[in-house]
């Protein structure tokens, strides 16, 4: 039996992973909203019941946890299990456990976190250095491989875990103390009078900035700023990585860059930290540069799913318009990192486009990765799978980022724990407070009780079957005195949405539907979002999906899976007839398909010839499923972008 | 002054890299034909004058040659320069020098080869083992890393160099002696009673098979067969390479495979050796399997250029239909290896399709790589470059396989020496002898004097400006008594070719145009190949070039370069109007283009929307250049596949 006890919890009202000291909006805190049912509540529940334990079990089994014990006991050995960054997985799990306990008071999560904290704390050196791969016994010395060693990356995740703890139980906690000593060590070592170096994998920047906010320690923010400004000047040895300094964003100073490039997770973690620094230091020039980079990257280097990272090679961004659906990497962690970036930009600017991209990414990258049981994960999330994966690839430790089948754990296993911390704190990305009211950004059945900052409380209950259904019902439970704003995000795709309130029903455009008035208890405000399936066309400059169309419904990108095709028909032989609008039948999205009759004629054995392929003939009804459901019925071939009949 | 002396040369009549003991055709020997002018003669001359010396200079400068001296002197050190496979570059240069001397009697090439042979020979261990990276001083032990160590790969190239020497100066030569001892060592070590292992990078198989032919030593052929049969059964540790055992073709036994897969050069070198073994052991089942694999791979995994390898990751083949033009790897060495395979299959079967693919690959991969001065090279040969490379990337040692600018040398520098040996022996791939005559496969101005095997000589002179012009003139210089066959390859693309001989002119279909009769001295046979520029369409299942068309002229794939576009027009904004046939004006191929008017409308900042892009408007004349000329006027953006106006 799970015991829930919130008596030890700190004031969680404003609790969450990102709490800027200024900006257009503050996030709704973990203590201000609870998911009650629906899409995200189910995933949060599976995270609680399965994923957290799954992550701990795997890291215990593989010895990634015992690495800390070995350092403490002075028994490090050359055969240390795990990559040099395995400590970070432990910290991400600890962050997830901290949010879990903070959200629910789950005593088991708290106990696990205590145990892990004790093991980690014992491995910390007297001067605050903490890493199980360097600097002990026969290991390489500290900071001898800044390019690939990931030491500061690991520390950054430690700091984020401590932020979660500090904001849920308070500052008097052993994990917070460990992080404080680690952060002090980083400042002592890499400050203006220390080593003029940076870490090959950004993360320390965002960790230091948030710890600075959580502990009120300006030195950490300053160190984050120093790391940011030092980057982009060839500090790291570009010849130590396959594609040179752009790989780790050391080619151009961050405020001079045009677009995100190189390794996608690195690029996005760096930007997340940069937004934090820009906001806290009121550096409007830097903020404007990051917004421009967001625009460039989103409009030319981002998948329909919100996924980022076009290349397996370097796990990196491609050039503008380089968005192959089959070799899309779209790493699950890059999706999470993209949400981190857009969330920070939303809080700073209040612009709806950031929340639009967050929704797209949450439903079509973040929700795609975990298996229904919370014990298997996609690492990469391509938009086209030609050959179904083998079931075998979903058994045991996966040696690499395969697509097409979810695997329980990976040699490089960044996604499971990253998803765990994201699901554990999901609602903290769902709404903002400020500008005289509450802004609801992501829709889920939930209760909200928000402090407006002027002593007033605004409470309401959200009931919805979104994204299956487009009706969102909001019933006021705590009506504050006087006028208050309720702003509802109308997604960018929701042309024809309607708002029903105060006895009227009116059309609302994409952006924010605003009701600003005095509310009364139990009154209902209804938002109707149009959920008709629709065709979506790519910009003609995206070479890899020219002549194709995708089907979307609400926030969900859809796909065709081979399992839903008629017997004997391959996914390569299917075209979509765009003259017929997609429709719904028996609860599923459908479209009119046309089959190509076998192999088209070619002039020679090479697949190129003097004429275009044969004209397709036979009609077929195509069944489309939400992309996040891909491969849940077993490995399949799959397409998001479907060639059109011309 | 270069001195040419052929007096020491052996009988070069049948000399060449591949001389099967049976098969439908024997190759024309190095001593039976001489290039006199034209496309390939120019490249062979640049190879002589520049590339051979360039390769030696770089390997001396980088210490790859001195590695041999260090082993001989017992002074190997942990900082050995070069990758573990750098010895193979030395051997490929030695092979090139052997063909060079054999072809021309160039004393300088011979002297260089003598010097290199002496340095290499001194590094050989008493038991025949020869490798500068393993087994000496503090180096790792011999054969401790079969997956990645490349020891047998290097040995294979040594054997091919010795074959070149044996077939140009005879068996009594120090290089031949070194190779014999190395081959004996391999047989002793890896025979049926030795280590049951194979090398991660195939090459020893093709080297042993050919050395067996050259020296008449059946043991080497048997060892090659053993290596082949041992492969594909998980002998190598798949977890030692990024994508597991398919990477080095150890997943499926060679006679059971459907298609080539994994690292392209490895796959192709393996098949080259397998054809040799199949032919020499009369293993028709194996030969049939290799032919099926060729068909599958050529019809679904091969670029319009003949290039193979769709992925930068693993330098590998992709799935069927995975042929992205932008991220095409199409490694220069894979092009050479593909020629090696198709040449062997042609000799075994006499089928024209193999020679067709060789022509395509020679003009559109092999000829693309070297710079005009023979001192810079493309490593990868993509069919689309979005952003012009930086000139800077063409200066000095290139750390990796960049496209868009030719670099003088590479960290992994397999192409320059591979090109050198290929150009030095180019004409040995150009014609076959057998079935009562001579078959001309590749057209170049040249003289031919072929032994028909029955004591008769058949001689003729070829004059042509091919591939600029489609007229090939053949003047008989030695008319043998009695009937003889002259077969001329009519390329697969040459619909409407005509043959003019004996006072008649008649249409000939793609395949072989055969003239079988008694010839008289000085009579002329003319082949007219139609050189009209033409549109080529991709199979509609090739997703990455859907909605695009390419322009070809004769054997040359063409491309559009950004340098030829009107001021202010980007390559992303150009469409081709396929209703107008491509044409020639002022000596260049042209096509009607249409420009897209600026950025098309999208519904939001993401590049996806509810409508298709705007209709293109302004017409423009597009200039197309042969793909092999790409980036010779400086770095450019480039496209082979051009989106069509629909």
Can you tell me the distance from the alpha carbon of B556 to that of A313, in angstroms, rounded to the nearest whole number? 30
Can you tell me the distance from the alpha carbon of A132 to that of A153, in angstroms, rounded to the nearest whole number? 13
Q: Does B608 touch chain A (CB under 8 A)?
A: yes
**Contact indicator for B151, B88 with CB cutoff of 8 Å:** no
List the beta strands (DSSP E) in B11-78.
Answer: 26-27, 33-37
Q: Does B384 touch chain A (CB under 8 A)?
A: yes
Interface test with A, best of B354, B383, B606 (most A CBs within 10 A): B606
Contact criterion met (CB < 8 Å) for B608 and A643: no
d(CA A271, nearest CA chain B) in Å: 19
- Whether the per-residue pLDDT at B600 is higher than 80: the answer is no
Q: Does A598 touch chain B (CB under 8 A)?
A: no
Cis peptide preceding B467, ω within 30 of 0? yes
The pLDDT mean for chain B works out to 95
Which residues of chain B from 60 to 119 reach within 8 Å of chain A, CB to CB? none
Measured between alpha carbons, how far is residue B116 from residues A368, B86, B420 in Å? Answer: 59, 14, 16
**Contact indicator for B550, B542 with CB cutoff of 8 Å:** no
- The 8-class DSSP code of residue A537 comes to E
pLDDT < 50 stretches in chain A: 1, 601-604
- Whether the per-residue pLDDT at B602 is higher than 60: the answer is no
Per-residue three-class SS string for A566-598:
CCCCCHHHEEECCCCCCEEECCEEEEEEEECCC
**Contact indicator for A137, A187 with CB cutoff of 8 Å:** no
DSSP string for residues in A193-221: TS-----SS--HHHHHHHHHHHHT-HHHH
* Edge-first strand listing for the sheet containing A437-440: A26-27, A431-434, A437-440, A484-490, A511-517
**Contact indicator for A215, A175 with CB cutoff of 8 Å:** no
Q: Does A601 touch chain B (CB under 8 A)?
A: no
pLDDT, tens digit (0-9, with 9 covering 90-100), for B158-191: 999 999 999 999 999 999 999 999 999 999 999 9
Among B215, B207, B208, residue whose Cα is nearest residue B171: B215
**Contact indicator for B22, B282 with CB cutoff of 8 Å:** yes
Which residue in chain A is spatially nearest to B510 when comparing CA positions? Answer: A604
Can you tell me the distance from the alpha carbon of B306 to that of A522, in angstroms, rounded to the nearest whole number? 71
Give me B146's structure tokens: 């079969």
With tokens 């996609």, the residue in question is A378
Per-residue three-class SS string for A601-628:
CCCCCCCEECCCCCCCCCEEEEEEEEHH
With tokens 């930068």, the residue in question is B312
Can you tell me the distance from the alpha carbon of A638 to that of B479, in angstroms, rounded to the nearest whole number? 63
Measured between alpha carbons, how far is residue A497 from residues A584, B16, B185 in Å? Answer: 19, 75, 79
Neighbours of A465 (CB within 10 A): 14
Can you tell me the distance from the alpha carbon of A161 to that of A390, in angstroms, rounded to the nearest whole number? 36
- Antiparallel, parallel or unpaired: β B384-385 and B33-37: unpaired
Give me B516's structure tokens: 């079988």
Can you tell me the distance from the alpha carbon of B298 to that of B292, in angstroms, rounded to the nearest whole number? 10
Contact list in A for residue B627 (CB cut-off 8 A) is: none
3-state secondary structure (DSSP) of residue B598:
coil
3-state secondary structure (DSSP) of residue B630:
coil
Phi-psi region at A561: left, alpha or beta (left = phi > 0; alpha = psi -120 to 50): beta
Rg (CA), chain B: 25
Neighbours of A75 (CB within 10 A): 11
Contact criterion met (CB < 8 Å) for A492 and B603: yes
Can you tell me the distance from the alpha carbon of B515 to that of B503, in angstroms, rounded to the nearest whole number? 13
pLDDT of residue B191: 97
Among B491, B84, B559, residue whose Cα is nearest residue B328: B559
Among A254, A248, A257, residue whose Cα is nearest residue A276: A254
pLDDT of residue A638: 98
Contact criterion met (CB < 8 Å) for A400 and B239: no
Phi-psi region at A493: left, alpha or beta (left = phi > 0; alpha = psi -120 to 50): alpha
Q: Does B319 touch chain A (CB under 8 A)?
A: yes
Which residue in chain B is spatially nearest to A541 when comparing CA positions? Answer: B572
Neighbours of A322 (CB within 10 A): 21
**Contact indicator for B35, B98 with CB cutoff of 8 Å:** no
pLDDT, tens digit (0-9, with 9 covering 90-100), for B42-70: 999 999 999 999 999 999 999 999 999 99
CB burial readout A386-406, b (16+ within 10 A) else e:
bebbeeebbeeebbbbbbbbb
3-state secondary structure (DSSP) of residue B632:
coil
Q: Does A543 touch chain B (CB under 8 A)?
A: yes
Among A535, A531, A565, residue whose Cα is nearest residue A641: A535
Contact criterion met (CB < 8 Å) for A386 and B541: no
pLDDT of residue A612: 79
Among B645, B582, B579, residue whose Cα is nearest residue B618: B645
**Which residue in the set A242, A386, A493 is minimally distant from B319, CB to CB?**
A386
* Residue B166: alpha-carbon gap to chain centroid: 22
Classify the C-alpha dihedral A105-A109-A115-A118 as positive or negative: negative
Among B155, B58, B52, B153, residue whose Cα is nearest residue B99: B52
pLDDT, tens digit (0-9, with 9 covering 90-100), for B463-478: 999 999 999 999 999 9
Contact criterion met (CB < 8 Å) for A547 and B546: yes
**Which residue in the set A319, A538, A610 is minimally distant from B607, CB to CB?**
A538
Of how many residues is chain B composed? 646
Contact list in B for residue A548 (CB cut-off 8 A) is: 543, 546
Which residue in chain B is spatially nearest to A646 when comparing CA positions? Answer: B646
Phi, psi of A277 (to 5 degrees): -65, -45
Contact criterion met (CB < 8 Å) for A608 and B399: no
Contact criterion met (CB < 8 Å) for A609 and B321: no
Interface test with A, best of B315, B331, B605, B644 (most A CBs within 10 A): B605
Can you tell me the distance from the alpha carbon of B301 to that of A441, in angstroms, rounded to the nearest whole number? 46
Can you tell me the distance from the alpha carbon of B644 to that of B646, in angstroms, rounded to the nearest whole number? 6
Angle at A296 between CA A293 and CA A300, to 5 degrees: 145
Measured between alpha carbons, how far is residue A86 from residues A59, B16, B85, B239, B620 in Å? Answer: 9, 55, 32, 19, 56
- Antiparallel, parallel or unpaired: β A457-464 and A445-451: antiparallel
Angle at A580 between CA A579 and CA A583, to 5 degrees: 155
Q: What is the dihedral of CA A600, A604, A605, A606, to 10 degrees?
A: -90
Among A9, A10, A14, residue whose Cα is nearest residue A452: A14
Contact list in A for residue B611 (CB cut-off 8 A) is: 537
What's the N-to-C CA distance of chain B in angstroms?
60
Give me A629's structure tokens: 């459901």
Per DSSP, what are the bridge partners of residue B487? B439, B514
3-state secondary structure (DSSP) of residue B624:
strand
**Which residue in the set B326, B353, B540 is minimally distant from A543, CB to CB?**
B326
pLDDT of residue A398: 84
Contact criterion met (CB < 8 Å) for B539 and A321: no
- Antiparallel, parallel or unpaired: β A504-508 and A497-501: antiparallel
Label residue A119 exposed, middle or buried (CB < 10 Å: 0-12, 13-18, 19+).
Answer: middle
Contact list in A for residue B324 (CB cut-off 8 A) is: 324, 327, 544
Contact criterion met (CB < 8 Å) for A605 and B544: no
Residues sharing a CB contact under 8 Å with residue B191, sequence separation 6 or more, in sequence order: B223, B226
Q: Please, which pLDDT band fits residue B603 given cuts at 50, 70 and 90?
A: very low
Q: Please, which pLDDT band fits residue B8 given cuts at 50, 70 and 90?
A: low
Range scoring the smallest mean pLDDT among A238-247, B414-423, B478-487, B547-556: A238-247
- Whether the per-residue pLDDT at B579 is higher than 60: the answer is yes
Label residue A460 exposed, middle or buried (CB < 10 Å: 0-12, 13-18, 19+).
Answer: buried
**Nearest-10 crossing angle of helices B264-280, B332-349:** 20
- Whether the per-residue pLDDT at B601 is higher than 70: the answer is no
pLDDT of residue B599: 59
Contact list in B for residue A606 (CB cut-off 8 A) is: 298-299, 302, 304, 357, 360
Residues sharing a CB contact under 8 Å with residue B564, sequence separation 6 or more, in sequence order: B622, B623, B625
Measured between alpha carbons, how far is residue A63 from residues A77, A80, A149, A419, A588 in Å? Answer: 12, 8, 19, 21, 45
Can you tell me the distance from the alpha carbon of B32 to that of B26, in angstroms, rounded to the nearest whole number? 12
């Amino acid at each position: 039996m799970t015991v829930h006890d919130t008596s030890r919890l700190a004031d969680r009202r404003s609790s969450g992973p990102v709490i800027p000291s200024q900006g257009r909006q503050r996030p709704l805190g973990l203590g201000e909203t609870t998911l009650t049912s629906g899409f995200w509540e189910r995933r949060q529940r599976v995270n609680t019941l399965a994923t957290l334990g799954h992550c701990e079990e795997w890291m215990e089994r593989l010895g990634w946890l015992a690495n800390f014990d070995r350092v403490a006991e002075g028994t490090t050995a050359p055969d240390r299990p795990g990559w040099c960054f395995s400590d970070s997985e432990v910290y991400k799990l600890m962050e997830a456990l901290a949010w879990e306990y903070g959200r629910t008071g789950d005593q088991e999560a708290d106990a696990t976190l205590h145990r892990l904290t004790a093991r980690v704390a014992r491995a910390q050196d007297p001067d605050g250095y903490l890493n199980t791969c360097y600097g002990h016994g026969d290991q390489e010395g500290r900071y001898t491989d800044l390019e690939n060693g990931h030491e500061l990356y690991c520390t950054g995740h430690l700091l984020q875990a401590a932020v979660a703890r500090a904001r849920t139980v308070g500052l008097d906690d052993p994990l917070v103390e460990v992080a404080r000593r680690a952060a002090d060590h980083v400042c002592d070592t890499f400050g203006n009078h220390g080593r003029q170096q940076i870490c090959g994998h950004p993360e320390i920047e965002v960790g230091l900035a948030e710890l600075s906010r959580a502990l009120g320690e300006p030195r950490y923010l300053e160190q984050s700023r120093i790391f940011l400004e030092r980057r982009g000047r060839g500090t790291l040895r570009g010849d130590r990585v396959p594609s040179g300094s752009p790989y780790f964003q050391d080619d151009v100073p961050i405020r001079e860059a045009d677009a995100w490039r190189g390794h996608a997770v690195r690029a996005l973690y760096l930007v997340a930290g940069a937004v934090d620094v820009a906001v806290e230091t009121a550096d409007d020039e830097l903020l404007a540069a990051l917004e421009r980079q967001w625009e460039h990257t989103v409009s030319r280097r981002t998948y329909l799913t919100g996924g980022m990272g076009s290349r397996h090679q370097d796990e990196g961004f491609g050039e503008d318009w380089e968005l192959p659906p089959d070799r899309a990497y779209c790493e699950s962690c890059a999706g999470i990192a993209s949400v981190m970036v857009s969330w920070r930009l939303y809080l700073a600017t209040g612009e709806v486009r950031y929340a639009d991209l967050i929704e797209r990414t949450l439903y079509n990258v973040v929700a795609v990765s975990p298996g229904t049981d919370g014990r298997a994960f996609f690492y990469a999330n391509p938009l086209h799978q030609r050959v179904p994966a083998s079931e075998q690839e979903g058994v045991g430790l996966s040696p690499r980022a395969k697509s097409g089948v979810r695997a329980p754990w990976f040699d490089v296993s960044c996604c499971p724990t990253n998803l765990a911390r994201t699901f554990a704190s999901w609602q903290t990305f769902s709404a903002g407070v400020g500008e005289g009211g509450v802004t609801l950004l992501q829709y889920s059945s939930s209760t909200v009780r928000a402090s407006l900052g002027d002593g007033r409380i605004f409470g309401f209950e959200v009931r919805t079957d979104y994204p299956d259904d487009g009706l969102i019902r909001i019933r006021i439970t705590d009506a504050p005195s006087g006028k208050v704003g309720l702003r509802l995000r109308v997604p960018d795709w929701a042309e024809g949405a309607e708002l029903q309130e105060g006895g009227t029903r009116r059309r609302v455009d994409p952006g924010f539907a605003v009701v600003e008035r005095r509310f009364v208890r139990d009154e209902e405000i209804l938002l109707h979002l149009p959920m008709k399936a629709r065709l979506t066309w790519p910009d003609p400059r995206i070479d890899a999906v020219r002549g194709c169309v995708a089907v979307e419904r609400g926030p969900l990108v859809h796909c065709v899976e081979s399992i839903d095709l008629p017997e004997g028909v391959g996914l390569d032989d299917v075209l979509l007839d765009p003259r017929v609008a997609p429709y719904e039948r028996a609860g599923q999205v459908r479209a009119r398909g046309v089959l190509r009759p076998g192999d088209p004629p070619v002039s020679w054995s090479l697949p190129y010839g003097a004429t275009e392929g044969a004209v397709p003939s036979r009609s077929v009804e195509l069944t489309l499923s939400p992309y996040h459901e891909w491969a849940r019925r077993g490995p399949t071939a799959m397409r998001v972008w479907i060639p059109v009949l011309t």
